[in-house]
Amino acid sequence: MLARGVCAKDGFVLLCHTRGADNTYLPGGHIECGEGAAAALEREMAEECGCRAYAGRFLGAVEHGFVQKSRLHFEINLLFIIDIPGLSPWRAVKATEPHIDFRWHSLAKLARVRLEPAVLCRLLPAWLDPAFGGARFARCGLLAENLQ
């Protein structure tokens, strides 16, 4: 289970990128045993960018299956609005971990940066709208029922 943060400002969203990979993803990481999802997200942001972050409104959950290094992986991403004071799309965000970097991308053009899970390209703009009344759960990628 992963906690992911959506830091959206002025039509841009903060994404994470593993150096050498061709996709991007929302910042955050694994929830440790006994840890709440929001607390895990705040801890992960402190570890990854050295910033104090505040997890806010729950946006939704995405079940995702994918292949990485010839191995099948499954994850459930819990998405929260995240506020990181002092950050803006016009200021670079420095990563504290050498294998990742952070990038701001237009919310309207997420498909161009290979956002994973890909379904978020369509869902994020809707989920960020406080008036959205639709489903808050999605499934995508290689899922167990597709492999039988």
Of residues 41 and 118, more confidently modeled: 41
Domain of residue 19 covers: 2-147
* CA 31 to mean position of chain CA atoms: 13
Asked if 23 contacts 121 with a C-beta cutoff of 8 angstroms, the reply is no
Contacts by 133-139, CB closer than 8 A, 24 or more apart: 135/60, 136/58, 136/59, 136/60, 136/61, 137/60, 137/61, 137/62, 137/63, 138/60, 138/61, 138/62, 138/63, 139/62, 139/63, 139/64
CATH code of the domain in which 33 resides: 3.90.79.10
pLDDT at 141 over 90: no
Residue type, 49: C
pLDDT at 80 over 80: yes
Query: Can you tell me the mean pLDDT for 60-86?
Result: 91
pLDDT band at residue 68, thresholds of 50, 70 and 90? confident
**Number of domains into which the chain is organized:** 1
Query: Can you tell me the mean pLDDT for 66-94?
Result: 91
pLDDT reported for residue 37: 97
pLDDT reported for residue 4: 98
Q: What is the pLDDT of residues 4-47, one digit of tens each?
A: 999 999 999 999 999 998 999 999 999 999 999 999 999 999 99
Please name every residue paired with 138 in a beta bridge, in sequence order, or none if there are none: 62
Query: Can you tell me the mean pLDDT for 90-113?
Result: 93
pLDDT reported for residue 65: 85
